[in-house]
Structure formats: C-alpha cells, structure tokens
Amino acid sequence: MKNFLIVARSFSDLHEKYINIIRDYIKDHGGMCVLDLDTCPDSSESEVRVDDNIECIITVGGDGTVVRVAQNVINRKVPIVGLNCGHLGYLCDMSVDNVEHCLDQLLSDNYKIDERMMLEGDCSNSPEQFRALNDIVVTSEAAGLYVLNLTVKVNGIQLYSHNCDGLILSTPTGSTAYNLSANGPIVSPHADCIILTPINPHTLNSRSIILASTDVVEVTIEARHEEDEPKANIIYDGTLRQVLKKGERIKIYRSATTSHMVMLENVNFLERIRARMQEI
C-alpha cells in the first residue's frame, strides 16, 4: 500500500499529534496521504470522501471512528485500520505505542484483510434501508422512562413478547459494544451469527440468544395498554435513523454488504479481550 486516507472524528491535540506522525512517516517512506477531518462526527450523514486511488483508510480516534467510517464507505471496498486514541479500542490494530511499526507493515504489504459481516434493517414504514457494523438497537423514545412491549419473531416464528427498555441485535464485531454493556456474550469477530440481547427486560427468564447469520428477526412495537401510542427509535451503530409507532415493525437480517478491516497484529482475539479488560 502506498496511498492512504486519514480520517479523524475530532481534532484534539492528541489526534493532531498522531495525524502528523502518520502523515509525515508515510510521506518520508514514499507514500501518499490525504486528510479528511470534517465528515466523521457521531451524527454525520455525509459519506467520507474516498478518491479512486486510495488503498487504505487509517482512522484516528477509537472504535467509534472505525464504525462511523465503515458506515460511510459501504459502497467502497477500501480496507480500514484504526489507531486507538480512545479507551478500549477493540477494533483498532494500531496503538500510540506501535504506530511506526504498523505503518511499516502497511507500506510493505505485510497484513491481512478481514471481512466483517454487517446487519441491515427494513422498516415497514420506510423504503430506506440502513446498515450497521456493530448493532441495530430498538429502544424507547424516552429511554428509561417508557417501557416498550416488543414482539420478536425469528423466521416467522414467535420467540417472545415482553416488556423491556429495548433490544440489541448485534454482529460478532459488535458483541464488545452495547451488547457487552447489556450483559450479552462476547463473540469472536470471525463467528457467523447474530446476537439478540434484550435491554432491561421485565422478566426473570430472558437471556441473550445466539442466532444463525441466515436468520431473519422481526420486531413489532406493541401497546402495553389500549390507549398507549408507543414509539421506538431504531439506532444503527449509535445513530438514530428511523422511528417506529404502534403496530409497525422492523426486519433485521445479515446484509449482503461487508466491511473490510486490515489485520496487522498476530494477536488472538481472546488475548486482546483480556488485555483491554485489564485496562478498564
């Protein structure tokens, strides 16, 4: 690789320091570097600008930056590698301690490309379809104040119907995100499955369920009382995209689109999890 795009979601002193280090190192070693510091905030609707000659996107930030870029370059199969300037950085192969070593690997083509599955949502009230690398979350419009009644079907067969604060449908990549915070299982990013985790269910016997990646999950918003007019937010990788009202539903399934991640470290997934958990 010789042609790179650097993307940062914010421009703090720390980010600026490492953006400059990366840019200067690539240029000093015969590569080309373009900066994009404007199109990747949390609520960005605009696509990251990727020229045809770009071979790799380097994100500077944390897992959120990687996820946001992955959402915004869906139609481009340009691989992404993240420099972790945040806290956990499960998705980031580069750290502030090994920047130059990782850049050497990229410049000398010493890496692998890891293809990650994404989820897609199809709402009954909207023709638009959105995708997520981490998760699709169905949650109350007034989170923590209004409980939802959700009916969940898998491949047309009812799984359950109960009151809860919401529901997380996660990819293996996203198992270490909101799913983990909601006591869902940690899953290897190379597994082939969909993780269904309820958020604060009002029942004693509700647990996360691991589904096949070929399964289709249908979630319908029900009313707890006849006079209720519940609303649910549909959030893709932390960004609100759609709203469902009583009786409306969303189908969630594996997307035909995938994200491409650069793998630099020869580190076992469980070793990385253990190391990151010790840093908390």
pLDDT on residue 248: 95
Pick the CATH number of 3-111+264-279 from 3.40.50.620, 2.40.50.140, 3.30.420.130, 3.40.50.10330: 3.40.50.10330
Name the one residue in this structure whose structure tokens are 């939802």.
148
Cα separation, 238 vs 271, whole angstroms = 27
Where in the chain are the domains?
Answer: 3-111+264-279, 118-256
H/E stretch holding 102 = helix 99-107
Domain 118-256: give its CATH superfamily. Answer: Probable inorganic polyphosphate/atp-NAD kinase; domain 2 (2.60.200.30)
pLDDT digits (tens, 9 = 90+) for 179-191: 999 999 999 988 9
Cα separation, 125 vs 251, whole angstroms = 11
pLDDT on residue 146: 81
**CA torsion, points 153, 124, 131, 88, in degrees to nearest 10?**
-60
pLDDT on residue 22: 96
Residues 6+ apart with CB under 8 A from 101: none
Pair of tokens at residue 170: 């996660």
pLDDT digits (tens, 9 = 90+) for 123-172: 988 888 899 999 999 998 776 678 899 999 999 999 999 899 999 999 99
Phi-psi region of 131 (alpha: psi -120 to 50; beta: other; left: phi over 0): beta
Angstrom distances, CA of residue 207 to CA of 168, 201, 203, 219, 233: 12, 9, 10, 16, 22
Name the one residue in this structure whose structure tokens are 């630099």.
264
* Amino acid symbol at 220: T
pLDDT on residue 203: 82
Pair of tokens at residue 84: 């972790």
pLDDT on residue 266: 64
Annotated catalytic residue, options 63, 135, 165, 237: 63
Which positions of the chain have pLDDT values less than 50? Answer: 43-44
pLDDT on residue 208: 94
Look up 237 and say whether it is catalytic: no
Q: CATH topology of 3-111+264-279 equal to that of 118-256?
A: no
pLDDT on residue 12: 77
Contact criterion met (CB below 8 Å) for 138 and 166:
yes
